[in-house]
Amino acid sequence: MSYLNREDRRESIMQAAIRVALEEGFTAMTVRNIASRAGIAAGQVHHHFTSSGELKSQAFVRVIREMMELPLVEENASWRERLFALLGSEDRRLEPYIRLWRQAQLLADSDPEIKGAYLLTMSMWHEEAVRLIVAGEKAGEFTLHDSAKDIAWRLISLVCGLDGIYVLGMPEVDDAAFNRHLHRALDLELV
């Protein structure tokens, strides 16, 4: 094991936790598994993080931040295309992130640290949606009849509801239906 300063060791543990989260999900995020991935003793994880819950929740927030920074559309994409990508992208690179997001939603009911992280990432998603809506309005692409904040919450709520039905495998809400409903909501909200 090579010597790393405190910040670098903590970051190597965080990177190992992120890899485990994306590849195997929350249930695999044990201290032993993360330590093994980081190439350190399990005690080192406890030395750098007050609890496994702290590590899981911080890793989750980093994962979602990373997902939101992925370039999903071309730089010259319209504001509507950017907003659609943020809300309902079909980019298959997002599948591990979305799977983890769904797990966090389920765990939030029983794990206060995951709930806090889930609420933070929901706020991050909302802020980015608001930013895109406002930018689209300033560019003259959108005409808003309500506040950007309220529109963003309605769009996010629709996506969360559609995703919940989509996960059930109902044929009425397949990929095409998901996209159709989201496009219709964008048409109604962003005249």
- Secondary element (H or E) of residue 97: helix 95-107
Are 83 and 136 in contact, with CB atoms under 8 Å apart?
yes
Any idea what the Cα angle at residue 72 is, between residues 16 and 129, rounded to 5°? 95
Task: Tell me the C-alpha distance between 61 and 121, whole Å.
Answer: 6
For residue 18, the model assigns a pLDDT of: 98
Give the global pTM. 0.92
- Res 2: pLDDT: 60
Q: Which domains does the chain have, with CATH numbers?
A: 1-49 (1.10.10.60), 60-189 (1.10.357.10)
Q: Percent helix, strand, coil in the chain (nearest 5)?
A: 75, 0, 25
**pLDDT the model gives residue 41:** 92
Q: What is the pLDDT of residue 90?
A: 87
* Rama region for 143: left / alpha / beta (φ>0; ψ in -120 to 50; rest): beta
Q: Which residues, at least 6 apart from 115, have a Cβ–Cβ distance to it below 8 Å?
A: 107, 108, 109
pLDDT for res 124: 98
Mean pLDDT by 10 residues, the chain (191 residues): 78 97 96 95 93 96 96 96 95 95 96 97 98 98 97 98 94 94 97 85
Q: Please answer whether residues 78 and 186 qualify as being in contact, where contact means their C-beta atoms are separated by less than 8 angstroms.
A: no
CA terminus-to-terminus distance, the chain? 58
